[in-house]
Amino acid sequence: MTALVLPSAGPDPIPVGTALAAVLGYARGRRPLYFRAPNSRTGRWVELPAFGYERFDVRPRATGPLGEADILTAEGLHGRLAPDAWQAMKRLLDDVRPLADAVLDRAAGRAMHELPDDEFSVLAEPGTVGALLRRIGGDKHVTAALHHRRPELFPLLVRTTRWQLLPHVREGDSGVEAVIHRELVANADAFEALRRTLSGYGIELTALRLHDVLLWLSGSLRLTHAVALGRQGARRW
């Protein structure tokens, strides 16, 4: 397969070469920032990561019960929480923990694209992965925490990507996760080819994470910039 057909990301297929450049730009791209310390009269230009790959994707995975380490990881992608929001997030993770464990038990070691369609159909509920994910809800810090732990199973959703997915929900779907599942299955070969090529650059991302990155870049109008960064740096990397 030479292109990714992702209706949630746009009407046109995404050539695998374009997708490769976009993810390279997401992972390795830099942006200039003029930095001046408060005690200095002059500053200098520095280059910072343009996107969240280094602050999120390459952080070590937390182990044990969901908790503070997971909040820190989610903050790396979505920004710092105020003290009261931090405490609320900690309580929310306590509530989510049994539901997340139930998803893991139901998936039985399988990635999202390896699950049968019924796991995302309301006709097969209750107890399906789709039903459990719906109960977990869509808090962006929660989905980031769960995704970082199991990036092949828990989708990472924010407002931008959720709105991109919603128009593609079909009758009988348990939620937007069903759309992600369909697109992963339909493009399994292309995602695998993309994943293997990126691995050669030292970038290890699951098919589910690649779907999320491409969807977010498209929906947030950053795809063109990421592709340009990726093509500029591909020879160096």
Tens-digit pLDDT profile for residues 3-26: 999 999 999 999 999 999 999 999
Residue whose structure tokens are 């070590």: 60
pLDDT digits (tens, 9 = 90+) for 19-66: 999 999 999 999 888 888 888 888 888 888 889 999 999 999 988 889
One-letter amino acid for residue 87 of the chain = Q
CB 1 within 8 A of CB 192: no
- Mean pLDDT, residues 140-169 taken together: 96
Q: Give phi and psi for 3, each to the nearest 5.
A: -150, 155
Q: Output the pLDDT for position 34.
A: 86
pLDDT digits (tens, 9 = 90+) for 160-214: 999 999 999 999 999 999 999 999 999 999 999 999 999 999 999 999 999 999 9
Q: Give phi and psi for 187, each to the nearest 5.
A: -115, 30
Q: Output the pLDDT for position 14.
A: 96
